A and B are shown apart, each in its own frame.
Chain A
Amino acid sequence: KMSEGNFTSPLYSIFIINKSGGLIFHKDLVQRKVRLTSNSYLQIAGVFHGMYAITSQLAPTKEVSSGIKTLEADCMKLYCFQSVTGTKFIVTTEPNRNDVEINEFLSQLYSLYANYVLKNPFYDLEQPIHNCDKFQINLNSLIENMFSVSL
Chain B
Amino acid sequence: MNIVDRQLPDKKSKNEVSLSAYTLLFSELIQYNQRKVTHIKELERRLADIGYSVGVRLLEYIAWKDKGDKYLKRETNTVRFLQFIAVTVWKLLFGKAATLERSMDKKEQFMITEDSTLVDKFISVPKDMQGLNCASLVGGLVEGLLDAAEFPARVSTHSVSVDTQKTPRTVILIEFNASVLAREQKYSL
A in complex with B: yes
Interface size on B, residues (CB 8 A): 19
Cα(A133)–Cα(B127), bound, Å: 9
Which residues of B are found within 8 Å of A115, using beta-carbon distances? 20, 122
Q: Whole-angstrom distance from the CB of A50 to the nearest CB of chain B? A: 32
B34 in the interface (beta carbon within 8 A)? yes
* Closest beta carbon of chain A to B26's beta carbon, Å: 8
Which A residues lie within 8 Å of B27 (CB)? 119-121
- CB pair A120–B122 under 8 Å, yes or no, is yes
Q: Does B182 contact A (CB under 8 A)?
A: no
Chain B residues closer than 8 Å to A121, beta-carbon distance: 26-28, 30-31, 34, 123, 134
Interface size on A, residues (CB 8 A): 13
Type the 1/0 row for A117-135, where 1 means its CB is closer than 8 Å to any CB of B. 0011110000000111111
Q: Using CB atoms, name the residue of chain A closest to B26.
A: A121
Chain B interface secondary structure, helix, strand, loop or mixed?
Answer: helix
Q: How many A-B residue pairs have CB under 8 A?
A: 42
Which residues on the B side are within 8 Å of A135 (C-beta)?
Answer: 124
Using a CB-CB cutoff of 8 Å, which residues 33-54 of chain B contact chain A? 34
Shortest CB-to-CB span from B107 to chain A, Å, is 37
List of A residues within 8 angstroms of B31 by Cβ: 121
A38–B129 Cα gap in the complex (Å)?
26
For window 59-107 of A, CB contacts with B under 8 Å fall at none
* B contacts, CB < 8 Å to A: 20, 23-24, 26-28, 30-31, 34, 122-127, 129, 134, 166-167
* A binding-site residues for B, Cβ under 8 Å: 115-116, 119-122, 130-135, 137
